[in-house]
Amino acid sequence: MLGFEVLNVKDSKGNIVDPGTFQAMCEEKYNTKSFEGLRLMNANGDINPTSLAYRYTTDRMTYIRARTIQQTFYQVNVPDYITLIPGEGSFSSQIITQANIIFSGTFKQGKISSAGQNSKLVTANAGVVPFYTQVQNWAMATDYTIFDVQQALFMGQWDPIEAKQKSRKMEYDLGLQQVAFLGDTDNLTSFPGLLTQPNVNINTTIITANISSMNYTSFNTLVQLLIANFLSNCNQVAWPNTFVMPQDDYAGMGVAVNPQYPNITMMSYLQQAFDLIVPSGKVKILPSIYCMTANNGGAVGIGKQVYLLYKNDIDSFFMELPVDFVVTSYGTYNNFNFQDAAYAQYTGVQALKPLEMLMFTHS
């Protein structure tokens, strides 16, 4: 018995809802398995939590709006930057990805002569090598009491249960987004992010200042070297399809490449160069605040402007969600306190082909 009858939960038409229906409504609303845009970092103007309350100082000429204003957070769609794999290996503690490795004699060793003895031919061979990915368990509860619900109903303008559910989902989304880019700062070795890969090569000579601040000559040289260095880094076997740059630099790329020819911007020039050179299709140029010096220092230890040129492909880089966000139904032991839990599993970003990424940094 969950005790929902005590609350007299009602639907939009004013009818009392039975516990089973209420649970189904909660699951439909909160346990959608959706991975919408993730969010991080509240915009300026945070509210001091000590000022939170149901009670306000008013007089008879005060009007309180029914509409509530939501906080604003930095949001990105993580799958634009890295492949996410949900639901595979649920409740495991480790996931192994097997890579096929070819090893055999050389092509020339396969040449035979019709005039010679060919009883023993050189062999082609292959094997597998395991890549280990660690899995992290995660869970967080929400709770409320009869007083929380009844006082909110008395105020009539705020739903504490819905607000707490959204708050928890926000914490999950923001935390997962940070892991995707910077890794889990409690264990970067087992849970690295896109920007904290230990085996990705770093170039510090090609981009020595924000791209948007470069003069025409320096920018031209940069465009010439970017893909050439990527190809050299991966031994000419892959082409990039994603270029991620600091958001503050990205925001300045609308200026003209050359003031004498103001009809083409640095962004469009760079995009056209990528499109012209890369045969496999358009290269996405994306911004990220995690690439900014102010947001990747501290426990992460980068503290520089970071640029990534890489092949965003499931066989190269991916992040796994063995258990996506799941919410349990509310339970109670005294029909006064109610609690539920949300749980999930996540991994860091696995780099199976680290040479298909080249990182550029400058102070």
One DSSP character per residue, 155-211 reads HTS--HHHHHHHHHHHHHHHHHHHHHHH--TT-TTTS--TT--TTSEEE-SS--S-G
End-to-end CA distance of the chain: 61
Coil, helix or strand at residue 236:
coil
Tokens 């000590």 found at: 50
Check residue 114 and give its pLDDT: 72
The domain spans of the chain are 4-44+68-86+134-188+319-350, 201-316+354-362
Which residues have C-beta within 8 Å of that of residue 330, sequence separation ≥ 6?
A: 2, 4, 23, 26, 338, 339, 340
**Whole-angstrom distance, CA of residue 18 vs CA of residue 10:** 9
pLDDT means over runs of 10, the chain (363 residues): 42 61 58 38 53 68 76 88 94 92 80 72 84 96 91 79 91 94 95 96 96 94 95 96 97 92 92 92 93 92 96 94 95 93 97 96 95
**Whole-angstrom distance, CA of residue 195 vs CA of residue 173:** 18
> How wide is the angle at C-alpha 148 spanned by C-alphas 144 and 151, nearest 5°?
165
The strands making up 349-351's β-sheet, listed across from edge to edge, are 83-86, 317-321, 349-351
Check residue 64 and give its pLDDT: 74
One DSSP character per residue, 21-68 reads HHHHHHHHHH-------EEEEEPS-PPPGGG--S-----TT----S--
pTM of the model: 0.81
Please state the separation of Cα 74 from the chain's center in Å: 12
**Whole-angstrom distance, CA of residue 344 vs CA of residue 86:** 10
Is CATH 3.20.20.70 the right assignment for the domain spanning 201-316+354-362?
no
